[in-house]
Structure 1
Amino acid sequence: MTTEAATRRMSGAPCWVSLMAHSLSATQEFYGALFDWEFRPGPQHLGPYARAFINGREVAGLGELAPDRQLPGAWTTYLASDDADATAEQIRCCGGTVGVGPLDADDAGRMAIAVDPQGAVFGIRQGRTMTGTAAVGEPGTPVWNELVTQETRAVGPFYENVFGYTSQAVVSADFDYLTLYLDGQAVAGIHGVGQALPQDRGAHWMTYFAVPDTDTAARRVVELGGQVLHAPRDSAHGRLAVAADSEGAVFTLVQPAA
């Protein structure tokens, strides 16, 4: 499940995750206590923003929504691009929408926010000196990104055409999943959940964060004012729990399989 650091730099690979929240200070307090993150100011081109660090290495970003934006807080997965402007044009040509940018973001490079044909929001990022998540596979770091949508066949071709993925499908009577590959390396997944797709969020990208013990982390989420939406369970990739932070932004905890 873990995407190695070198793979994260490949065009099309998830390279960064960022959360837009209503209270930056409260969100820093929640994730700092949950994942032992430290924070430093980041680029302010879209408003207050901080970068999260583990042992001096960048792992994620936290931004604050403008007071008049009544949007729910949510994590955004950014996919690497060698040319953000060309990727943005390809997104439009393949039926997606570019809502923000491309624009320059200091050392973070050139970025844009887009929406796929099924309504899931994602980012693209053309890095400069700061190329993306620096710590990989450690507790508190993002280790997998997965699109949760109604069905894989409705959106899989869009991502394949825009980012050049090859894919491998797992489709059965009760499971619809597409693993996306770059140069033979699994970099992300698409999970079709049918009518189980949450109506309040619709299609969305899910970020998986590594933890030493999923059950302990799930209890800590509740102590910090969050919720456990799906209780810890075992899977082929480790022990998982779906949680929401103190503002309702959803993410997954994973204790990777040994």
Structure 2
Amino acid sequence: MPVVKTPYPPGTPCWVDLTAPDQQAAIDFYRDLFGWQGEIGPEQFGGYAVLTLRDKPVAGIMKAMAMDDNPPPPTVWTTYLATAEADATATKITANGGKLLFPVMEVGTVGRMSVAADPTGAVFGIWQALDFGGAEIVNEHGAVIWNELNSSDLKAATAFYRTALGIEITPTPEMPDYHMLKVGGKDVGGAQGLQNHPAGTPSHWATYFSVDDIDSTVDAAVRAGATILVPAMDTPVGRMGAVADPQGAPFWMITPQQPQQS
């Protein structure tokens, strides 16, 4: 269902956010593209902006800021995986070949989080919900519909996510090169190797947004300064394509295949 009313089970993608050099420009771009509402947040939370559809949270946007002597983080969308206990999950991540990019931290009263890299280098976040559970609208125009792991070593990734986060990665019989992420037997995302990506593409998590008409939405994105990465194409699950936003963050969009009427 588009409106999420129950907590996300541990291991399930529950939130996405964007880190961008120009936070306000990013908010403006996605507001115009997807109809999001929101503004730069309070200083005590680093100005983090929670964007909404119909007054319900769908995604976050924050300003890319350098920490200590490190360069600013890349301009990317990050997928967050739900956890019941962030500290225990962080311990499992490091014990199984992953790396914490920063320690578990409290975000006011809303939750506890960290960002990590799996053993193949794919970056993801973990989120322990307190007052805030994650996206409250999914699977409709302007909201996240799919999260996908693209890995240089799917075998290593399968072992890692199973042990560290309780996610099973299983082959899809009808698509031999594609795998499903499963939590409690339910499909919660996808996974694949990098064989269909340009040479040198690193392991990464990809975010897919649902749109009613991908061709017109891609056109609107390009007029607003986005760059086409993968032209819209028909697939068994819908018509999809990828763009990089005006500041370089890649993301996918899909108009899902409608079920056949009987």
TM-score, length-scaled by structure 1? 0.91
The C-alpha deviation readout for 1:195-226, integer Å capped at 9, x for no partner, is 73553x51110000000001111111100101
1:226 is matched with 226
Distance in 2, Cα, partners of 1:194 & 1:3:
32
How far 1:43 moved relative to its partner?
A: 6.2
Residues 176 and 193 in structure 1, CA contact (< 8 A), matched pair in contact too? no
* Paired residues of 1:244 and 1:251 also in contact (CA < 8 A): yes
Q: CA deviation at 1:134?
A: 0.5
Q: Distance in 1 between matches of 2:228 and 2:142?
A: 17
Q: Which runs of 5+ in 1 are unaligned?
A: none
Q: Which residue of 2 aligns with 1:97?
A: 99
For 1:93 and 1:171, how far apart are their aligned partners in 2?
Answer: 32
Q: Which segments of 5 or more consecutive residues in structure 2 lack a partner in the other structure?
A: none
Q: Secondary structure at the match of 2:100?
A: strand
CA distance in 2 between counterparts of 1:121 and 1:130 reads 22
Q: Which of these residues, 129, 132, 137, is aligned with residue 130 of structure 1? A: 132
What is the SS of the residue equivalent to 1:234?
strand
Q: Select between 181-190 and 204-213 the one with higher mean Cα deviation.
A: 181-190
Match of 1:115 among 108, 114, 117: 117
Q: Identity, % of aligned pairs?
A: 35
Query: Could you say which residue in structure 1 is the equivalent of 2:156?
Result: 154
SS of 1:5's equivalent in the other structure is coil
Higher mean displacement: 79-88 or 150-159: 150-159
How many residue pairs are counted as aligned between the two chains?
255
Output the CA distance in 1 between the equivalents of 2:207 and 2:32: 18
**Residues 8, 14 of structure 1: 8 Å contact kept:** no
1:29, distance to aligned residue in structure 2 (A): 1.0
- The whole-number CA distance in structure 1 between the counterparts of 2:95 and 2:47 is 32
1:56-77 deviation line (CA, Å, top 9, x unaligned)? 0000000001268344300000
TM-score (norm 2): 0.90
Please, which moves more after superposition, 2-11 or 243-252?
2-11
Counterpart in the other structure of 1:53: 52
Instruction: Tell me, in whole angstroms, the C-alpha distance in 1 between the residues paired with 2:253 and 2:83.
Output: 27
Secondary structure of 1:188 counterpart: strand
Structure 1 residues 133, 43: closer, same or farther in 2, change over 3 A?
farther
RMSD (CA atoms): 2.2
Which whole-Å CA distance do the structure 1 matches of 2:117 and 2:136 have between them? 26
Q: Show CA shifts across 1:97-131 (max 9, x none).
A: 01112000024300000010011110000011110
Measured in 2, the distance between the counterparts of 1:118 and 1:3 equals: 32
